[in-house]
A and B are shown apart, each in its own frame.
Chain A
Amino acid sequence: MLMKREMQILWKNPIYVFCMVIFPIAVVLFFTTMLDEGQPSSLPVGIVDADNTTTSRGLIRRLDAFQSSHIAANYSTVAEARNAIQRNEIYAFIYIPKGMTEKLIAGRQPKISYYYSQACAMSGSLLMKDLKTVATLGSAGVGMATMQAKGLTSQQMQSLLQPIHIDLHQIANPWSNYNVYLSTVLVPGVLMLFIFLISAYSIGTELKFGRSKEWIRLANGNMFVAILGKFLPHTLIWLAIVFGYEYYIYGVMHFPYEGSAWDIILLSLLHVFASQGFGIFAFGLLPSLRMSMSVCSLWAVLSISMAGSAFPVMGMDAPLQSLSWLFPLRHYFMVYQITVFNGFPLLEAWFHFAALVAFALLPYMVIGKIKNAMQNYVYIP
């Protein structure tokens, strides 16, 4: 009975269709298509080439050949190039002073400068990496000529130029693909926001539209049955959305994961239950539609920063590190990265796992309060 009634409510109010199906799908598509490139490529870079020789042009060509950099324009002075950055035309520029080639041949160690804007951190660090490689290669080219003249073998030259080689193993995401980073945390974060809000909203509107007594009556006054009956249809829809999303990123987009499919399923279940638990709890704590929804939205938006996927929690101040435990998304992220992403055993994430279960059980604490609110409160706009 309760479920049937709830289905009718969901069907009648278009806001549910939008917030439970259309917007979540739009968000999934937004992040996955937006970051589809994985790593930004062909970022516009400027050139200030005061030297203008074959060597300097060779250097520039080599930089242009890199995946991230794309030579967009030539400028005659540094000031002009800096203005171009401020106008957002380029992200970085390379300055080759006059007499670079001459000094290089004469062995007087010329200096080239590379200016990159850190106002967009991602482009800054990517372009920086390209430049470092080009400069090392340029240096190596010069040294190689001298060494060849001295009669060294190519193996000797290589070990001389780079005596210690760093062999990098990027576990679980070898392409350092940003889509894998961001879409796996931001999308669940936004889904969580929807689940929080809709859970609080659907209880609150019972009160607002004066249906609360009918709701309790249908459950024969048993609050446990009332909540379960009301939220079971929600849970099913949310699970469909979350599983659809997981299937899309792992099945269609082929995001890497080291864990098993069971890890993903378990995490998705916890994701939905914990978020619904938090949403209902928020309403129970502040039994007013507007306050509980405000708390839910503020909490959910904050949790995206507090999850620590972009700026790590270990870099925050100590009080914030403890506060991060209050955010379900933080635990979601930890369980995700330990079990699904890195494929470590679930035991290593037991604390975060337990925390998510605790979030799912939170409504138990406020069940009496919700009942009281439903029977005695009147909605005031």
Chain B
Amino acid sequence: MQCRIMSIFRNITEAISDACFIWAQEMHYVIRDEGVLIFFFIVPLAYPLLYSWIYNNETVHEVPVVVVDNSHTSLSRQFIRHCDASPDVKILCYAADLDEAKSLVSRQIAKGIYYIPSEFDIKVNRMEQATISVYVDMSLMLTYKAIYQTAMAVSQQMGAIIQTNVTRPATKREEQISAQPLAVEDVPIFNPAGGYGSFVLPAVLMLIFQQTLVLGIGMSAGTARERNRYHELIPIDRHYQGVLRIVGGKALCYFMIYAIMGAYLTLAIPRLFNFVHIAQWSDLLALMLPYSLSCIFFGMIVSCIVRYRENVMLLMVFVSIPLLFLTGVNWPQSNIPSFWQSISWLFPSTFGVRAFVRLNTMGGTLSDIMLEYRILWGQAIFYFIITSIVYRHQIYISRANALERIEHMGRKLEIGEKIRKRRRRLELPS
């Protein structure tokens, strides 16, 4: 009995020491291989900085607009002045007519045209509805919004003044009420400035986490294959015996690196660039654990597909952009076609990003992301099982090949021995 317990104990210690050996070996490979180093360290460190820099300004201000003012009255000039004073639009210049204005737009100097017709002032004073035409270059959504919304806001504001001038209310209060009987307060919540960086960056960060991890693992597996004399993923070695030891040892190595990278991506970058960050650390930790595990095992499965180290780049890099769309930060999640929704279930990033956005940007708690949290754990377990199966298969292949080689060598030896014996026999009589 004691003996059995001892042997189990010895087995366990041996497994742990093997796993540690594999972990050290893998760590060694990672640090020595510059291709892996790029994806494990340089990209996750530098890319977020670059992206944050690109989106640092968050919103567009002072979009240049050209004005065609045929009215030339104090009212039309008031409109132009108010637009110019708004944060989003800058009145670039006056154009004599629409053709001139259009040529400015075509040369990319202005992004839109405000056209005030000659009867603008007359119509307003006649109590008729006056019109201001807005022509926008639609090639950029954000500039279109800035130009149109500014014109809308200014026209409403001026309209209210015109209205009260006509109706002549008795008191200041009545004036306000007649202009707007029902007050509306719009409250943008979570990312109140509507900044572009604040909404797209959390998704990009989580995506960088997954993609660099998968690329790095794929690269290092490719290298291991190419270094191996027989192009096999798993070397014949005393330490590379059990599936769990190999998978555990390798995963531990990646996990250690990405624990640091993950902290950098989710904690340091939003603080460094002052993007919205209102997550609780405990919830974040709870999310990142299954996310990194599922990414690691996902990466290990992908790494078994690639034969040559560079192929993983061809496979994984282009996926990043569709994956960003599948997370639902750009295009609302409720409007993603169900076919693509189901494909998105394959990737940890879909749920990782959604959960992270809700924790980090929307201040949710773990209970709000329970669905994603559970799916991520499910993915981690599922991918772990698949990884084990795939690795087991790899071990089987490499062992079978090794046995074949040994047999082959044995046969060679045997034949050699026979020849030698025969020679000796021939030599003896003489």
Contacts and interface: CB of A to CB of B under 8 A. Distances in A.
Interface in B290-321: 308-311, 313-314, 317-318, 320-321
Given A194-B318, A293-B313, A297-B313, A30 B340 contact: yes
A183 to B, nearest CB: 11
A115 B187 contact: yes
A314 B337 CA distance: 33
B137 to A, nearest CB: 6
Nearest to A294: B38
B21 interface: no
A135 B184 CA distance: 7
Given A30-B322, A290-B35, A348-B107, A166 B132 contact: yes
Interface residues of B, number: 113
A164 B185 contact: no
Interface of A is mostly: helix
Contacts of B192: 118
B310 A201 contact: yes
B56 A317 contact: yes
Interface string B319-347: 01110010011111111110110000000
A312 interface: yes
Given A85-B189, A122-B330, A344-B106, A163 B184 contact: no
A260 interface: no
A35 B236 CA distance: 50
Nearest to B154: A164
A107 to B, nearest CB: 5
A128 interface: yes
A320 B54 contact: yes
Interface string B168-185: 000000101110111111
A283 B93 CA distance: 47
Interface residues of A, number: 117
A119 B191 contact: yes
Contact of B177 (A107, A181, A198, A315): A107
Contact of B163 (A30, A160, A344): A160
A162 B140 contact: no
A8 interface: no
Interface in A76-97: 82-83, 85-88, 91
Contacts of A116: 186-189
Interface of B: 34-35, 38-39, 43, 47, 50-51, 53-57, 59-61, 63, 79, 105-108, 124, 127-145, 148, 151-152, 155, 158-159, 162-163, 166-167, 174, 176-178, 180-194, 196-200, 219, 223, 226-227, 308-311, 313-314, 317-318, 320-322, 325, 328-337, 339-340, 354, 357-358, 361-365, 368
Given A116-B188, A161-B163, A166-B132, 10 more contacts: A113-B187, A132-B186, A142-B181, A155-B128, A160-B163, A166-B155, A168-B133, A171-B138, A300-B317, A348-B108
23 contacts: A30-B322, A86-B364, A86-B368, A87-B358, A104-B182, A107-B174, A111-B183, A112-B185, A117-B189, A117-B191, A120-B333, A121-B194, A125-B145, A158-B129, A159-B128, A160-B127, A290-B310, A309-B139, A311-B60, A317-B56, A345-B106, A348-B108, A381-B309
